[in-house]
């Protein structure tokens, strides 16, 4: 089985590659990544030693290059993690998000149609549903919740989801979609909430919290997410959407305080800053469908997962400190020059 993993040098994609290489040692994994600012090839250093792994530096919007790679490798499965995903960046530069998240998805699916595929899987987000009110804890996102995107980022992901489902209906492309809640864990890029707070706290820098920090997110340990996608690929029904949630709802401010406590830092480091434009208040996923149909449940409670995550950042300071300094962006050239294959 040959599996293309796009965006595999990113946080969730890299963890998924590690999971597949361990869970399916006979599979061949081809990682496609443009290596934008959030793609870190050093994350995949251990995978590089596996003879069943190949890395290709490529832009999923580059139709000619994508078609050539499909022709060469003839993949059985494509899992699309490749996406611009930072909401703040989407507010400043929405065009980039439309380009990668929608047009890039189209190129991949066109290649799947042209060269044949057993399964195309689109990794999406619960943000396509918009948000839920804080005073209705009984409400959750289900797969039938109407799409109601709040930011250019979530709108671009919603557009891609609709395109994926349209390709299934129009062309019969065998697709599935997963929409997950906020992930956390090893190799999380330091611009995101949890790793940013850990890095800043360790350096005794201010911990910037939007508004009052009352926004609620459902947190999912990244390894649980990877297991869910694996199940969907092998047992999920074509044309279906599956919500993946952690049942770990937390206020942002409570997470920051918990990180301070775990690291022995004063809460005086917390600095409230002007809120993000159109900031969603609450995300909460109902994962009943994937549990009842595929038997998946999250295994990691947030209290345990955050401890494991903090320990990983303490043990791997070199990984994230090179990102903060910007040195990680030189890794590809330093290690591999202009070679497209590794």
- H or E element that contains 293: helix 288-294
Q: Catalytic: 126?
A: yes
Pairing between β-strand 241-244 and β-strand 175-180 as defined by DSSP bridges? parallel
Q: Please enumerate, as own/partner, the contacts of 288-293 that have beta carbons within 8 Å and a separation of 24 or more.
A: 288/142, 289/142, 289/143, 289/242, 289/243, 290/228, 290/231, 290/232, 290/242, 290/243, 290/244, 293/235, 293/236, 293/237, 293/242
Q: Catalytic: 127?
A: yes
Catalytic residue among 33, 59, 84, 127: 127
User: Measured on CA atoms in the order 305, 310, 315, 318, is the torsion positive or negative?
Assistant: positive
Q: Could you tell me the CA-to-CA distances from 63 to 58, 154, 341 in Å, in that order?
A: 10, 24, 18
Number of continuous H segments (helices) and E segments (strands) in the chain: 13, 12
Find out whether 298 and 231 touch, Cβ atoms under 8 Å.
no
- H or E element that contains 19: helix 11-23
Catalytic residue among 33, 59, 84, 126: 126
Question: Tokens in use for 164?
Answer: 């994926």
Catalytic residue among 120, 129, 153, 313: 153
Separation of alpha carbons 330 and 322, rounded Å: 10
Return the active site residues: 126-127, 153
């Amino acid at each position: 089985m040959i599996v293309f993993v796009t965006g595999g040098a990113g946080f969730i994609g890299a963890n998924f590659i590690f999971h597949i290489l361990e869970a399916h040692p006979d599979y061949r994994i081809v990682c496609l990544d443009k290596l934008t600012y959030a793609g870190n090839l050093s994350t995949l250093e251990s995978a590089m030693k596996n003879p069943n792994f190949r890395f290709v530096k490529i832009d999923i919007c580059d139709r000619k290059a994508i078609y050539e790679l499909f022709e060469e490798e003839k993949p059985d499965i494509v899992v699309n993690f490749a996406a611009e995903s930072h909401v703040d960046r989407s507010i400043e530069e929405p065009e980039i998000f439309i380009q990668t998240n929608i047009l890039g998805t189209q190129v991949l699916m066109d290649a799947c149609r042209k060269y044949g595929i057993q399964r195309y899987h689109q990794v999406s987000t619960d943000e396509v549903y918009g948000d839920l009110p804080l005073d209705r804890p009984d409400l959750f996102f289900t797969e039938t919740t109407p799409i109601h995107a709040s930011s250019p980022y979530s709108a671009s992901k919603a557009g891609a989801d609709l395109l994926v489902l349209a390709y299934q209906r129009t062309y019969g492309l065998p697709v599935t979609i997963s929409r997950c809640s906020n992930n956390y864990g090893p190799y999380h890029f330091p611009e995101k909430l949890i790793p940013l707070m850990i890095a800043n706290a360790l350096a005794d820098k201010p911990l910037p919290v939007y508004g009052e920090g009352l926004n609620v997110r459902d947190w999912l340990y990244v390894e649980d997410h990877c297991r869910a996608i694996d199940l969907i690929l092998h047992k999920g029904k074509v044309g279906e959407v599956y919500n993946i949630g952690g049942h770990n709802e937390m206020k942002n401010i409570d997470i920051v305080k918990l990180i301070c406590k775990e690291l022995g830092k004063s809460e005086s480091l917390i600095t409230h800053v002007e809120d993000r434009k159109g900031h969603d208040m609450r995300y909460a996923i109902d994962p009943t469908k994937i549990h009842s149909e595929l038997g998946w449940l999250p295994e990691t409670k947030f209290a345990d997962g955050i401890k494991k995550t903090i320990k990983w950042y303490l043990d791997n300071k070199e990984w994230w400190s090179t990102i903060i300094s910007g040195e990680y962006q030189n890794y590809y050239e330093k290690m591999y020059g202009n070679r497209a294959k590794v």
